[in-house]
């Protein structure tokens, strides 16, 4: 009863609310249709636009994993954001 979301948007399509609308719709489908209890997402800590989007729609930061992923020769930190069904339903 848990799900994970991921998304990628073209940087030049920003500023129109499309990412917010898409993630919001995906959470709604996961909670209302698929009856998920918890939905989470991982994000590169350098991707401020994505983690701010998750905060804006009500997801909470649950973890900060240090050196979680490798990108070339560098280690990358990752945030985990999540939302529970009872946190979503009042918003729907």
* Site of tokens 């930061």: 61
Q: What is the pLDDT of residues 14-45, one digit of tens each?
A: 777 888 888 999 999 999 999 999 999 999 99
Between residues 11 and 59, which one has the greater pLDDT? 59
Which structural domains are found in the chain, ordered by start? 2-88 (3.40.630.30)
Mean pLDDT of the chain: 91
Over residues 53-57, mean pLDDT? 93
Q: Which of 56, 91, 9, 73 is CA-nearest to residue 81?
A: 56
Q: Evaluate if residue 52 carries a pLDDT over 80.
A: yes
- Distance separating alpha carbons of residues 13 and 39, to the nearest angstrom: 25
Q: Is the pLDDT at 90 greater than 70, yes or no?
A: no
pTM: 0.89
* Cα 29 from Cα 26, distance rounded (Å): 5
């Amino acid at each position: 009863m848990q799900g994970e979301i991921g998304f990628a948007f073209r940087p030049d399509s920003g500023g129109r609310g499309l990412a917010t609308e898409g993630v919001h719709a995906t959470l709604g489908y996961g909670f209302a249709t698929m009856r998920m209890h918890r939905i989470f997402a991982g994000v590169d800590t350098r991707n401020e636009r994505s983690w701010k989007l998750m905060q804006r729609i009500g997801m909470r930061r649950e973890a900060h994993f240090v050196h979680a992923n490798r990108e070339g020769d560098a280690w990358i930190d990752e945030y985990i954001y999540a939302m529970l069904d009872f946190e979503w339903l009042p918003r729907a």
